[in-house]
Structure 1
Amino acid sequence: MSTMVDERLRRLRSELDDHSRIADRLGLDLERPLRSLNDGYPENAVALVGKLTEKLLKELWRHHGVEGDPSTKALNDLVKRCRPYIRSSTVVDALDDIRRLRNRSTHDGYDISDEDGLLAVRRLVDVLVWFTDTGSAALLGGEPDMAPEVARRCEFLAGLYVTLGYPSLSACGETPRFGGLA
């Protein structure tokens, strides 16, 4: 593995560490795709990212009460049925990239490069960042401590903020200040 790939892998590892709370709650092993990449098996990393994404979408499916049983659905069906509940075009694009890479690897039989594996993990990080930044009750556990209409509007604004490409305050190490109050 090249030095450049190793550096990107190290950065992705630190970004995934930021989502350990979600991983612990859902029983996800976010390290496995990184270990597969490090060991030279990018096709395994892509398959593992697909499985992790399926788990996230199944949780979102259950949270929103989508009709049917998510346990019988493949990644493609999960993305289609959960799409109305995801208000970020960046996340929808990330899910499509993950699905496309997994199909190339698993069903189409194409060779998967280290770059493809890194892209799959990067897109998984994008999905996790969105869910974390919007405070999705589906993944963080429990409902928000505010009125449902206020929570819905806050989620919309947070998704808009992320979609426009602004960094989250927590990623900058800053404490949010509202109306001049600390």
Structure 2
Amino acid sequence: MIILRTPRLFLRKLQTDDYRSVCSILQDIDVMYAWEHPFSDEEVVQWIDENMIRYHRDGYRYWAVIEKASDQLIGVTGLISEQADDEKYVGIGYIYQKSYWGNGYAFEAASACIDYAFNILHLNEITAQIRPENTASRKVAERLGMSVTKQFIRRDKNRDIPHLLYRLIL
């Protein structure tokens, strides 16, 4: 089922059949540098399963981004429940196959997700948690109209990782 459409893309729920395509994204060390490790096969399965659970619980999560011209899954973009310094947010996230970087796909899909968040879910703000050195993601967030509202430390696998909290308020 298609959730969102843009001029070049459509977004739909992830499904177990997407495993190989998702592996090509989440197991690429260059793509996953912000996580500091590529996912194992088991972690990819768990990640897809978690997204499917969240669709039922929250009504949103990462969606598969399909390029219309090729009918290929090129990335994932979606709305995700996040937390920073004990405050809960709905954030935007985007992860793409490296060969599709620099073509405006993250911005295009994220723009559609933000419209969905404001107009369908009736949220009044969207956030993004981005590592300071992730300049490409920071540029996407800024192009979306988001601005940094604070710096915080995110704990991941027993490590403290600095992040910036970007925010867009309706």
TM-score greater than 0.5 by the shorter chain: no
Higher alpha-carbon Rg = 1
Provide the TM-score with structure 2 as the length reference.
Answer: 0.29
Which structure: greater strand fraction?
A: 2
| Larger RCO (CA under 8 A, 6+ residues apart) | 1
Provide the TM-score with structure 1 as the length reference.
Answer: 0.28
Which structure: greater helix fraction?
A: 1
